[in-house]
């Protein structure tokens, strides 16, 4: 999957008005995902993503993660994107949906396993 297709799919699923808005939602969610993932999982995931998306996950995560709940995650996405928590949840869910289509099943399982069940609303069934 190429960068444009990734962002277009995010736009379709989140009903965002423009490609640029979908790019911003993608950047925000993947930035926070990169802050959350540990144990080298961010770079592992990035290795399967297209240029333009992968770089976001290669950013250095903070030394002290502050994300321990779904609400923490959505608040951070909202801060990054400049939207409220409800909107952030719609956008984050759309990005996770597309992420699942862009990488192998096994890689997505590894990502999913780093999230306790309270994060289920971020993922497909």
Partner 1 sequence: MPFGEVDLDGFLCSTVDWSPAGISPLVVGGQNARHVSRTYSTSFTFDVRVAWRAFGIWFSMLLSARGEDVLRVKGLLNIGAAGLVLIKGVQHVVYSPDHLKGWPGADHRSRIVFITRYIRSEELLASLEAFRPLFGVGPRLLEATAPV
Q: Between 85-102 and 105-113, two packed helices, what is the crossing angle to 10 degrees? A: 140
| Shortest Å, Cβ 73 to partner 1 | 12
Give which of 13, 20, 8, 54 is closest to 34, Cα–Cα.
54
| Shortest Å, Cβ 80 to partner 1 | 19
How far apart CA 43 and CA 26 sit, in angstroms, is 17
How far apart CA 125 and CA 56 sit, in angstroms, is 26
Q: What is the total count of residues that contact partner 1 (CB under 8 A)?
A: 19
Site string (64-103) toward partner 1, x via CB under 8 A: xx--xx----------------------------------
How far apart CA 23 and CA 120 sit, in angstroms, is 23
**Of 50, 54, 110, 123, which lies in the binding site for partner 1, with binding defined by CB under 8 A?**
110
Residue carrying the six token digits 């994300």: 67
Regarding 113 and contact with partner 1 (CB under 8 A), the answer is: yes
**Of 2, 12, 38, 47, which lies in the binding site for partner 1, with binding defined by CB under 8 A?**
38
Q: Which residues bind partner 1 (CB under 8 A)?
A: 38-39, 41, 63-65, 68-69, 104-107, 109-110, 113-117
């Amino acid at each position: 999957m190429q960068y444009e297709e990734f962002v277009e799919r995010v736009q379709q699923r989140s009903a965002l008005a423009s490609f640029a808005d979908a790019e911003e939602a993608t950047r925000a969610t993947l930035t926070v995902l990169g802050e959350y993932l540990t144990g080298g999982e961010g770079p592992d995931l990035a290795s399967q993503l297209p240029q333009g998306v992968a770089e976001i996950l290669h950013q250095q995560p903070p030394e002290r993660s502050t994300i321990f709940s779904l609400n923490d995650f959505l608040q951070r996405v909202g801060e990054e994107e400049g939207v409220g928590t409800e909107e952030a949840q719609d956008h984050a869910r759309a990005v996770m949906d597309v992420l699942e289509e862009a990488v192998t099943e096994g890689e997505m399982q590894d990502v999913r396993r780093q999230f306790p069940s309270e994060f289920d609303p971020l993922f497909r069934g």
